Structure 1
Amino acid sequence: MAEKILEKKFRKTLVILLFLGWALGNLDRYLINYAIVYIGEDLALTATETGLILSSFFLGYALMQLPGGLLADKFGAKKVLLTAVIVWSIFTGLTAVAWTLSMMVIIRFLFGIGEGGFQPSASKIISSSFPVNERSKVMSIMLSSGGIMAMLVPIISAALLLTIGWRAFFVIAGLLGVGIAILYSKYVPKDEIAKETNQGHKVKDILGILFKMPLMWSLVVAYFTIYAVNWGLNSWMPKYLTDVRGLDLVSIGWLQMIPGAIQIIAMIVFGYLIDKLDLKVNKFIGAVCALILSGFLFLMFNAESIALFITFQCIVTLLLTFVVLLLPSFILKRIPSSYAGTAMGMANTGGQLAGFVTPTLIGFMVDVFNGSYNAAMWLLVVISIICVGAILTISLKNQVFKEVEHGNIA
C-alpha cells in the first residue's frame, strides 16, 4: 500500500493528538511508581511483591505489542488507538478498587494489555502519514510527552497522594482517558485498510518476512537492553531515593524535575538531529552513548551526595534518551509503512518484556541482599554494555530492504 502523506495542517493536528495520548499513557504508568510507596504500606508488600506489581503492567503491554501492530496493519491504526485509550483508562480507574496483591497484579496486567496497542499503531500512523525526513522528529515530539510526565508526575503525586490518596488519584487518571478518547474519535483521520499489504503480501505473511530480517532481531535485543535500564531506573527510583538516600516524596518530586526537564529538551533536539544525520552515523553515536551510559550508571549509584547523584542522573537521562529515540528511527525509515505497525510491535516486545522482568528482578535482588541496591546497579551496568553490541549489529544493507519491498525474502 502506498504511503498517503497528510496535508501539513492535518499533520500538525495529528502530532498534537499523538502527544496528548502518549502523555496520558505515561501519566497512568508513572503514577504507580510513586503510588506504590503508599500501596506497599496499605497492602503490606515485600520488595519482591512490589516489583511484581510494577512488572505486571509490562507483561500485558509486551504481550500486546505484536497483536497490536498486526491489528493496526489489518484493521487500521485509528481503531487500535481508540480502543487502546478506552481499555487502558478503564483499568487505570479500576486500580483504585484493588484491595489485595492478586487483584492489583491482574488489573495492572490488563491495563498493560489495553495500552499495548498504542505505540505500534501510532508508529504506523507516523510512517504512513509523514515524510521520511520528519518521522524521527514527530516520534520525538510524541515521546517527549513521556518526559513531561516524568517531570510532572513526581510533583503531582507528592501533592495529591498526601491529600486525596492513591485510590482517588487513579480514578481521576482513568476519567482523563474519556476526554482523550473523544478527541481521537473526532479528529484522528481514518486510515486506509490494506486488504493486501506490501504488494501482495497478506497480513499473515508479515511476521514471516520480519522474522527473517537480521535488523529486526538486533532491534529486539537493543530494545530489551535499553528499556531494561530505562524501566529499572524509573520503576525503582522513588523507592531507592526513599530507602537509601532518605528523601521524602516531596523532595524527590522537586529533584526529579531536573532530569525530567533535561529529558524533554533532549527529546526535541535529538529528534531533529537524528532526522538530519545519516542512520549509519546515528548508529555509531547510539553505540557510544550506550557504552558511556554504563559508566555513568556506576557513578550515579556511588555518588557521595544528592547533588552529585542528580548530576549523574541528568547525564544518564541524556544518553538514554538518544538511544531510545534512535531505535524506532530504524523502523520508521527502513521498514515499508504497510507493516510498520507490526515491525514496531515486534521490536517493542523486547522493550516491554524488559519492563516486565527488570522491576521484579531488582525487587528480588533488594530482598536477597537485605535492602542493598548494589547488585541491581551492576545488573543495569552489564545490560547497558550488552546494548552496545546489539546496536552495532543492526544491519543497514540497502539490498535487504529492496528485497522486502518486492517480497523476495524466502
Structure 2
Amino acid sequence: MNRAGALKHTRKIIFLLFIGNLFSAFDRFVINFGVVQISEEFQLSASASGLILSIFFLGYAIMQIPGGWLSDRFGEKIVLFISIVGFSIFTGLTAIAWSFSSLLVIRFLFGLAEGSFFPAGSKLISTSIEENKRSRAMSVFLSALTVAGVIAPILTTTMLVQFGWRTMFLIIGMIGLFIAVLYWVFLKPNILKQRVENNNFITRQGELPAKGNIKVLLRTHMIWSLMIASFGYGFISWGISSWMPTYLVNERGISLSSLGILQMIPAVSGIIFFLIAGAVMDKVKSGQEKWFGAFSGIALAITVYLMFHASSITGVIIFQSLIPVFSAFLSVIIYSLPIKRLPEETSGSAVGLVNLGAQIAGFAAPVGMGLIIDFFNGSYNGVVWLLSAFGILIFLAFLSLQSSKKRLIIPELARGVSDR
C-alpha cells in the first residue's frame, strides 16, 4: 500500500473507532438522564437509583481483562463486532424492563457486552497506528466520550419528553445494530500492522512475545500506577456524570429541558481539550508524562470542590467546564502509555487491566455516592470531599509512576513465557 493509501486507511480506522466509541458512550450516558423518569416509575430511593447507574460498570469491569485477552488472542475486529451487537441488543431490551430487578439484570448484561469494546479499540490503535501518533489517535478515540456528552443531554432529554424512556432505549438499540454492520463491512484492522516494532522483542530463538500475558503484566510497576490513577479518575468522572443531572434538577432547580442545554457546555470544552491533550502528549519528552498527570489530579480535586460550592448555576457550569481540561490529559496519559511503552502483542490486555480500575470505580461511584447522599439526608457535602480525595489519589499514583524513556522490554515476555 502506498503512503496515500495507508493514510486513508488509517483515517478510516480512526473514524470507525470514533463512531463506535461515540455510540458506546452515548449508550451508557442516556441512563443518567433516563433514571429521572425510571426512578419515578419504579419509586426508587437515591440508593436504588445509584445501583441502577452502577450495575452497568460491574459487568463492564468484569470484561476488561477477558476483553483485552480476547483481542490479543483472536483479533480486534471480531471482538469489536460482537461487543457492539451485544450491547445494542441489551440496550433495546432495557425498554421492556418490568421491575427494578429486571432492570438491574439487563443493565448488568449490557455492561458485560460493552466491556470488550475499549480494550479491543485500544489494541487496534496499537497495531494500526505509528507509535509517535498513538496519543493523538487515542485522544480522538477518547474524545468520542465528550462528543457523546454534547449530544446525549439534548437528544436524551428530547426523546424522554417526546417518547418516554422505554421507546428511547429501543431506538438507540436499533442504531447500534446498524453501526455493527458498518464495522463488519469496512473495518480492516491488519493492513497497517506495525511489524517493525516487533523486532525489539524477538527472542534468540526468533519467537515473538507471548500474547496477553496477564500474570507478567501484573508484575509491571507502570500497570499498577496507571490502574490506581485510572480508579481515581474513573470515580470522579463517572460519579459526576452519573449524579450531576439529578443534582442540578433537585438541588439547583433546573428543569429537564434546560438541563440538556446546560450540560452541552462542559462537553464542548471536553472535545477541544481531548484533541489538544493528544497533540501535546505525543510531543512531550518520554518519561515526563507523570508530571502532567500529577498536576491534573490536584487541579481536578480543586475544581470539583469549587464546582459544588459555586454560589450560582453559572458558577457551577463554569467549573464543570474546566473539569474536562484536566480529565482530557489524564485520559490520554493513562490509556496511551500502555500502547506506547509495552509490546503491542500485550496492548489489549494491558489497556484492559488499566481500564479495570476506572470501571470498578464506575461501579462504586454512583452507588457509593447515592449511599452517602442518603446518609447525609440528601446533602451532597459528603460526596464533595470524597471526590476531591480521589484527585489527591491520582496525584500520588502519578508521582509513583516509573515511566521509562524507552519502550519497555518485559524479560518474561521477551523469552516467550506464557501463563496460558
What TM-score bracket applies, with the shorter chain setting the length? over 0.9
* Partner deviation per Cα, 1:217-260 (whole Å, 9 max, x = no partner): 11111100011000000000100101110111111111111111
Match of 2:415 in 1: 407
Q: Which amino acid is 1:153 matched to?
A: A
TM-score normalised by structure 1 residue count:
0.94
Match of 1:339 in 2: 346
Contact 2:29 2:149 in 1 (8 A): yes
For residue 187 of structure 1, report the CA deviation from its aligned partner.
Answer: 0.9
Structure 1 Cα separation of the partners of residues 296 and 154 of structure 2: 29
The aligned counterpart of 1:3 is: none
Corresponding residue for residue 393 of structure 1: 400
5+ residue gaps, structure 1: 1-5
What is the rounded CA distance, in whole Å, between the counterparts of 1:29 and 1:120 in structure 2?
Answer: 17
Could you say which residue in structure 1 is the equivalent of 2:29? 30
1:362-382 Cα shifts (integer Å, max 9, x gaps): 000111111101101110000
* Identical counterparts, % of pairs: 39
Shift of 1:65: 0.3
CA distance 1:319–1:398, change in 2 (3 Å): closer
How far 1:26 moved relative to its partner?
Answer: 0.8
State whether structure 2 residue 121 is matched by structure 1 residue 126.
no
For each residue in 1:262-316, what CA deviation from the matched residue of structure 2 results, as whole angstroms up to 9, or x when unmatched? 0001111111111111233332022111112111111110100111111111112
Counting only pairs closer than 5 Å after superposition, residues 357-368 of structure 1 correspond to structure 2 as 357-368=364-375
Secondary structure in 2 matching 1:401:
coil
Between the aligned partners of 1:105 and 1:33, the Cα distance in structure 2 is 14
Judge conservation of contact 1:279–1:330 (CA < 8 Å) in 2: no
- Of 290, 299, 303, the match for 2:306: 299
Instruction: Indicate which of 280, 284, 290 corresponds to 1:277.
Output: 284
Give the secondary structure class of the aligned counterpart of 2:389: helix
Match of 2:134 in 1: 135
**Structure 1 residue 398, shift from structure 2 partner:** 5.3
CA contact (8 A) 1:43 1:99 kept: no
Residues 117-154 of structure 1, C-alpha deviation per residue, up to 9 Å, x if partnerless?
01111111100111011111111111112111101111
1:7 Cα deviation from its structure 2 partner: 1.6
Match of 1:187 in 2: 186
| Pairing partner for 2:274 from 264, 267, 270 | 267
Quote the residue 1:110 is aligned against: 109
- Is the 1:403–1:409 Cα contact (8 Å) retained in structure 2? no
| 5+ residue gaps, structure 2 | 196-200
**Does the CA-based 8 Å contact 1:223-1:327 persist in structure 2?**
yes
> Do structure 1's residue 55 and structure 2's residue 54 form an aligned pair?
yes
Deviation, 1:329, is 1.6
SS at match of 2:367: helix
SS at match of 2:354: helix
CA deviations over 1:320-378 (Å, ceiling 9, x no partner): 22111211121121011111000000110111000000100000011111110110111
In structure 2, the CA distance between the partners of 1:390 and 1:407, relative to structure 1 (3 Å rule), is: farther
Distance of aligned partners of 1:129 and 1:361 in 2 relative to their CA distance in 1, 3 Å threshold: same
Residues 98-126 of structure 1: CA distance to partner in whole angstroms, max 9, x if unpaired? 11111111101110101100111111110
Residue 272 of structure 1 aligns to which amino acid in structure 2? A
Q: Judge conservation of contact 2:273–2:325 (CA < 8 Å) in 1.
A: yes
Contact 2:68 2:351 in 1 (8 A): yes
Moved more, 224-233 or 280-289: 280-289
* Residue type at the aligned position of 1:362: M
AA aligned opposite 1:340: S
Cα pair 2:59 2:112 within 8 Å, conserved: yes
| Greater mean alpha carbon deviation, residues 396-405 or residues 291-300 | 396-405
Could you tell me which residue of structure 1 aligns to residue 198 of structure 2? none
Is 2:388 the counterpart of 1:381? yes
Structure 2 residue matching 1:108: 3-state secondary structure: helix
* Residue type of the alignment partner of 1:332: I
Per-residue deviation, 1:407:
3.4
Q: Distance in 2 between matches of 1:200 and 1:125?
A: 18
CA contact (8 A) 2:232 2:390 kept: yes
- Match of 2:415, SS? coil
Instruction: Please say if 1:150 is aligned against 2:157.
Output: no
- Quick one: which amino acid aligns to residue 258 of structure 1? I
Q: Does 1:227 align with 2:234?
A: yes
Q: Does the CA contact (< 8 Å) of 2:127 and 2:190 recur in 1?
A: no
- Structure 1 residues 27, 400: CA separation in 2 closer, same or farther (over 3 Å shift)? closer
Cα shift readout 1:76-106 (whole Å, capped 9, x = no counterpart):
1101000000000000000001111111111
Report the AA paired with residue 330 of structure 2. Answer: V
Query: Cα gap change, 1:98/1:250 in structure 2, threshold over 3 Å: closer, same or farther?
Result: same
Aligned to 2:80: 81
Aligned to 1:97: 96
Q: Distance in 2 between matches of 1:238 and 1:258?
A: 13
Distance (Å, rounded) in 2 between the aligned partners of 1:256 and 1:318: 16
Indicate how the Cα distance of structure 1 residues 218 and 408 shifts in structure 2: closer, same or farther if over 3 A, else same.
farther
Query: Which residue type is aligned with residue 394 of structure 1?
Result: L
